[in-house]
Chains A and B, each alone.
Chain A
Amino acid sequence: MLKTRKGARADVLRDDRLPLCREPWETCYILRRGIIPCCYGAAIEKQMSNWADAWNSAEMVEIRRRLSRGELSDYCLQTLSCPIVQRALAMRAAQSQRKSFVQRAIKKLLRMAGFSSATRA
């Protein structure tokens, strides 16, 4: 059985190196309200006739670049309806909470051990 480093079973149905969201690669929305890279987003190009150019426009390239690095683009961060964005933001908030909890705990331990910023100084 394939195992990942964390001990979980590898997902053999898909590649791990896929972007955070596949929409900007797989789908193009040619709508009356413009050309849209994802089903939850706003138009990146207002003219619905410019679909061919919009497909590899600077905005699309930037969205793909960030997503392929596992990051949310500025465009994504404005698309709060998207469940992927919601999950990513929720995870980020939880990580941030965990991080501040750990920092607080370390500070407390250091204080208890007699270390403080003053003593270190």
Chain B
Amino acid sequence: MAEHSILFEGGWHDEERGDSFSFRWMTREARLIVKGLRAPGTAYLRVITDCPFSHKKPVVLEVLANDAATGKRDIHNKWTSFFFPFPKEPEVPFTFRLDRTHMAPGDTRELGIKVRDVAVIDISEMEMYGEGWYPEERMTTALPFRWMAREAVCFLHDDHARSDRYLEIRCGHPFSSARQPALTVAVNGEKVGTRLVGPGEQNYYFPIGSQPCDLRIDLSLDRTFPSSVTQDSRQLGVMVRDIAIHHASEGDFFFAEGWYQQESSDLLSCRWMKKEARLLVPEERRAGNRFLSLWISSEFENLSQRLSVFVNGASIGEIELLHGWNYYSLEMGPADHGQKKHLLSLIHPKVPERPLPHHTCELRLAANKPYPARYHAQDGRELSVRVSEVAFHDNEQVHRNSQSLHKNAILNYREMSNGATRLKSHPLNLGIDLYGVCNIKPHCVYCIWDWGKEMEGPNTHAMVDDATLKGYGPFFQNARSLVNCSIGEPLLHPRLREIVELCEREKKILEISTNGQALNAKTVAVLLGKRVTVYVSLDAARKETYARIRNDRWDEIIPQLRLLGQQRKDHGNLPRIFMVFMPMRVNRGDLEDFFRLSRDINADAVVLRPLCDIGERRVRMERSGYLFDYEREILSSEELAEIFAESGMHAQKYGVPVYNQFHFGGRREQSG
């Protein structure tokens, strides 16, 4: 701090010598003047006090700067530092006023409190933890923490004043049976939120917007834990591990409380949500947008899981969640740019309404029930749904389509569970046939090409493109996924880009099976960042095996797959790459290498797909010195069981999940 002087005026007794430092007694009212500060920044007057008469009831100290109140503090019988805001003026008179004084035996003076070391401190030079903290502690090898009393203050300095900054407080307590304290936080005198602090430890986030870089953080609890609970004579509130400023990615939704780290899934990169969670985003992101959209995946197939959505405290709807990944759009009502009253804390319903500060928009999501733990015993977390791609939008048509799709899906489920046979609803998934031509000639050894083309007849060369898909009307509009089942190679389609873009625009999930030989710079560019699941029919992990099933283009296809796997990292890991392995006699020795290869090319999963029973048809074909006899290639149930067990082990070893299509239509396992 720059040169300055502190002059003690009326109301102070003479300086005395204590055991290790000097101090002064104060009378009921005393004055001091701070002089000589040139261009003071954000600063505080630090006063260290003690009052030996406060055993039963603390003496109350009120401090006025320039005759304006700056704060009141309870002074206990313990040397404690207090901080009072320092006005940005070169000369400031301070008045110290007490609620009572005492007379000590054998001392004729009027005694108030003892004061030592009055100083002006610039915030950037201050200790982070101010008043209301107990000394740092450490439990075994864990990181240090400090207990907070009922009220505490800390100081932070941040050089990046921008709108999407959040105060991150990592805290908790070990008392699960006691009533949870509510923590209220104020930044530079403005309340920014209240959160119930539960047992255990977690991060709590508070919007601080573009506040000045020097922050005074006031924390207060509605209660502390009684000594009977803590077995500690101190007044203990919560354990605070860390307080910091968190900078969110500019403009993005910030996943605050109730979320786990981003992870991969069968379709989208996502986060698992606890039963309840909050997101924060600068209010300006919402401006002009009427709708909130998000992708949600529920594990419940019976529509019994619901998600309530609140924007700035106001409910905008309760979603009856469909099974798996689905796109939802909800109407929000007009943006109020922070002027309207909002619920300050939505995690804690009893907290009174207050405006959310700093033009921050808050989304709260609350599931009516969790994903039961017995279905994910290997993952001990509290889980409800997976969420991805939260966004605002203003596309009325997309909103209407999503509503229609959702309504149809619910009707479809009701009809199915009620045993209806003539349906009013439309299908949820549409099997499509994009292209009837293939680039592998002669065709793959297990492909019943000739039979398929005979069945297709003149339709083989019929055009099926984006216009055809739109022409399916409600069948297209109400489908959440389009699954290409063509006997042909879809990546050769002349309007592949238009088809993929239509699906992307209409929020459809597109699934295509490809031999991968048409993957090149052009087709990879079409697929990057799109919600497409690409099933790559490889069936081999070695050049020799591949040649026995398809042809000698192994050395061309693998680099293209690696390129796709690499490039999609910058596009939200989309498209999804599923490596298809049809267990047969010809590739029986390739299984482990197939998992290794899948890991190496950054694939999402290995898919075990059955070699179909083709009835009476006989398929025999010689390829690369190997006689492929379809009937002989089908493995026995015992051999398949071995493969499934091995696949489970390889999936663990190589970190690539396995999806087994042999279990199509089966029930999900429960553990325990």
Cα(A30)–Cα(B664), bound, Å: 21
Q: Are A30 and B431 in contact (CB under 8 A)?
A: yes
Q: How far is the CB of A1 from chain B (nearest CB, A)?
A: 9
26 CB contacts below 8 A, A to B, read A11-B668, A12-B304, A13-B300, A13-B372, A15-B302, A26-B429, A28-B429, A28-B475, A29-B485, A30-B431, A30-B472, A30-B475, A32-B486, A33-B452, A39-B483, A39-B485, A48-B459, A48-B462, A51-B472, A56-B423, A61-B422, A81-B612, A81-B614, A82-B664, A83-B661, A84-B665
Does chain B have a CB within 8 A of A106? no
* Chain A residues close to B by CB (< 8 Å): 9, 11-15, 17-22, 25-34, 36, 39-40, 43, 46, 48, 51-52, 55-56, 60-62, 64-65, 68-69, 80-84, 87
Complex interface: chain B residues within 8 A of A27 (CB)? 427-431, 483
Per the bound structure, the CA–CA distance linking A36 and B455 in Å amounts to 12
Among A12, A39, A46, the residue within 8 A (CB) of B431 is A39
> For the complex, is B299 an interface residue (Cβ under 8 Å from A)?
yes
A113 to B478, CA, bound (A): 66
Cβ–Cβ < 8 Å partners of B661 in chain A:
83
B421 within 8 A of A: yes
- Given contact pairs A18-B417, A28-B430, A34-B455, A83 touches B302 in the complex (Cβ within 8 A): no
One digit per residue, 1 when the CB lies within 8 angstroms of any chain A CB and 0 when it does not, for chain B 405-432 equals 0000000100111011111001111111
B residues near A84, Cβ cutoff 8 Å: 664-665
- Judged by a CB distance under 8 angstroms, whether B436 is at the interface is yes
**A64 engages B668 (CB within 8 Å):** no
**Bound complex: CA of A80 vs CA of B615, how far in Å?**
8
Size range of the chain B interface in the assembly = 35 or more
Cβ A25 vs Cβ B423 within 8 A? yes
Q: Would you call B102 an interface residue if the criterion is a C-beta within 8 Å of the partner chain's C-beta atoms?
A: no
B430 in complex: contacting residue of A30, A32, A62, A82, CB < 8 Å: A30
The 4 A-B pairs with the shortest beta carbon distances in the complex, nearest first, are: A29-B431, A68-B419, A33-B455, A32-B459
Partner of B415 from the list A25, A33, A80 (CB cut-off 8 Å) is A25
Contact A14 B423 (CB under 8 A): no
Please give 19 more A-B residue pairs, beta carbons under 8 A apart, in addition to A27-B431, A62-B421, A81-B610.
A9-B374, A9-B670, A12-B300, A14-B301, A15-B417, A19-B419, A28-B430, A29-B431, A30-B475, A31-B485, A39-B483, A46-B457, A55-B423, A56-B422, A61-B421, A64-B420, A65-B421, A81-B613, A87-B665
User: Is the CB of B639 closer than 8 A to any CB of chain A?
Assistant: no
Contacts of A60 in B (CB 8 A): 421
> Complex: how many Å from CA A22 to CA B665?
8
Closest chain B residue, CB of each to CB of A47: B459
Contact yes or no, B299 A13, CB < 8 A: yes
Q: Which residues of B contact A68 (CB under 8 A)?
A: 416, 419-421
Contacts of B426 in A (CB 8 A): 28, 55
A18→B668 CA distance, assembly (Å): 14
Contact present for A31 and B431 (CB under 8 Å): yes
Cβ-based interface call for B433 (8 A): yes
Query: Considering the chains assembled together, what is the distance between the CA atoms of A18 and B459 in angstroms?
Result: 35
Interchain CB contact under 8 A, A83 and B427 = no
Q: In chain B, what residue has the closest Cβ to A34?
A: B455
- Evaluate contact between A28 and B431: CB separation under 8 angstroms: yes
B455 contacts A30, C-beta separation under 8 Å: no
Q: Quick check: B431 and A18 within 8 Å, CB to CB?
A: no
A83 and B663 contacting across the interface, CB-CB below 8 Å: yes
| Contacting pair B459 A83 (CB below 8 A) | no
Query: Is B487 among interface residues, defined by CB-CB distance under 8 A?
Result: yes
Chain B residues whose CB sits within 8 angstroms of the CB of A65 once the complex forms? 421
Hey, which bits of chain B sit against chain A, CB under 8 A? 299-302, 304, 372, 374-375, 412, 415-417, 419-423, 426-433, 436, 452, 455-457, 459-460, 462, 464, 472, 475, 483, 485-487, 610, 612-615, 661-668, 670
Q: Which B residues touch A55, using CB under 8 A?
A: 423, 426-427, 475
Task: For the complex formed, measure the closest distance between the CB of B284 and the CB atoms of chain A, giving whole angstroms.
Answer: 40
A59 to B603, CA, bound (A): 40
- Most central of A20, A33, A39, A69 by chain B CB within 10 Å: A33
Known: A48-B459, A82-B664. A33 touches B431 (CB 8 A): no
Closest chain A residue, CB of each to CB of B375: A13
- Please name all residues of chain B whose beta carbon is closer than 8 Å to the beta carbon of A83 when the two chains form the complex: 610, 661-666
Minimum CB–CB distance from A88 to chain B (whole Å) comes to: 10
* Residues of chain A lying within 8 A (CB to CB) of residue B615: 80
Residues of A contacting B667 in the complex (Cβ-Cβ under 8 angstroms): 11, 14
Enumerate chain A residues within 8 angstroms of B431, measured Cβ to Cβ. 27-31, 36, 39
Bound Cα distance from A121 to B634, whole angstroms? 52
Name the CB-closest residue of A to B462: A32
Contact A32 B460 (CB under 8 A): yes
CB distance from A15 to the nearest CB of B (A): 5
Minimum C-beta distance from B568 to chain A (A) = 26
Q: Which of B427, B459, B460, B662 has the most CB of A within 10 A?
A: B427
A63 nearest CB neighbor, chain B only: B421
**Chain A residues within an 8 Å CB radius of B302:** 13-15
Instruction: Give the complex CA separation of A26 and B300 in angstroms.
Output: 16
Q: Which residue of B lies closest to A1 (CB)?
A: B374
Q: How far is the CB of A98 from chain B (nearest CB, A)?
A: 19
Known: A31-B433, A82-B664. A26 touches B427 (CB 8 A): yes
Contacts of A32 in B (CB 8 A): 433, 436, 455-456, 459-460, 462, 464, 486-487
Partner of A17, one of B299, B417, B457, B668: B417
**CB neighbours of B459 from chain A (8 A):** 32-33, 48
Bound-state Cα–Cα, A69 to B670, Å: 25
Contacts of A12 in B (CB 8 A): 300, 304, 372
In the complex, how many angstroms separate the beta carbon of B54 from the nearest chain A beta carbon? 55
Interchain CA distance A12-B610 in the complex, whole Å: 29
For A8, the closest partner residue in chain B by CB is: B670
B623 to chain A, nearest CB (A): 23
